[in-house]
Amino acid sequence: MDEKKRAVAEKTYLILAALFMAALVTGNLIFQKFFTWNPFGWYEFQLSVGIIPYPITFLVTDIISEIYGKKRANRVVTAGLFASAFMLLIIVISTQADATEWSPISDGQFKSVFGFTFIAVAASLAAYLFAQFLDVQIFHYWKRVTNGKHLWLRNNASTFTSQFVDTLTVLLLLCSFGVIEWQYFTALLINGYLFKVIIAALDTPFIYVTVWWMRRYFGLKGHGAELEF
């Protein structure tokens, strides 16, 4: 691979990593708002808005795993951990700072929005570490088993499994710490997981197109071929 394409590969990797971390951090910040979604007309989802950007994280790690390899995918997951921890530190410091009398947002308003963020981010990080590393492991397991073929299988098999683990872990921790009442646990688990499965299925064509383009541009031949740096 020539220097120009190597530079493009590195820039693309940074863009994907940035999308991953932005989606992860945003989801943790906005999770306290819940909404309803009725795409089929006969089943109404009740979901946290924090779930909207989250499937992007699994899509990005699957693309990176396919093109850049397991090591680089795990590197992005680790970077996301530090980004979330840093975001949590900033929120803790900001909560302790007293608002001025003329501040558009009072201390009470700020705490009502970010008051549970510490618990939520801690729960999210625990689930995130487990689910994201699981996603990468399962993805590469199926990549080995299928000899690099059937991208749709490893994409969905890894995402479906890791998304369930993530949803279950987060809800267990949030309910245990009183952020969400236990009476909503089952409904949120089913709704959250179904939403993620639907999105994961819908993003399969996108990952195929993206991987096809990147393989063609970077000259990766053969099933399962990865970029070498």
* pLDDT value of position 18: 95
Indicate which CATH number applies to the domain containing 141. Answer: 1.10.1760
Query: 167-184: b or e for each residue (b if 16 or more CB lie within 10 Å)?
Result: bbbbbebbbeeebbeeee
Domain that holds residue 59: 3-218
In a domain, 165, yes or no: yes
* pLDDT value of position 127: 72
Q: In what helix (H) or strand (E) does residue 197 lie, and over which residues does it extend?
A: helix 185-202
Q: Which residues face 35 on adjacent strands?
A: 47
In a domain, 15, yes or no: yes
- 90 three-state secondary structure: helix
Q: Based on the structure, what is the number of domains in the chain?
A: 1
What are the backbone dihedrals phi and psi of residue 135, each rounded to the nearest 5 degrees, phi first? -60, -45
Mean pLDDT over all residues of the chain? 82
In a domain, 227, yes or no: no
* pLDDT value of position 45: 83
In a domain, 29, yes or no: yes
In a domain, 224, yes or no: no
In a domain, 35, yes or no: yes
* pLDDT value of position 226: 73
What whole-number distance in Å separates Cα of residue 17 and Cα of residue 32?
Answer: 25
Residues of the chain where predicted confidence (pLDDT) is lower than 70: 1, 115-121, 124-125, 128-129, 132, 150-152, 155-156, 222-225, 229
CB 54 within 8 A of CB 195: no
In a domain, 223, yes or no: no
In a domain, 225, yes or no: no
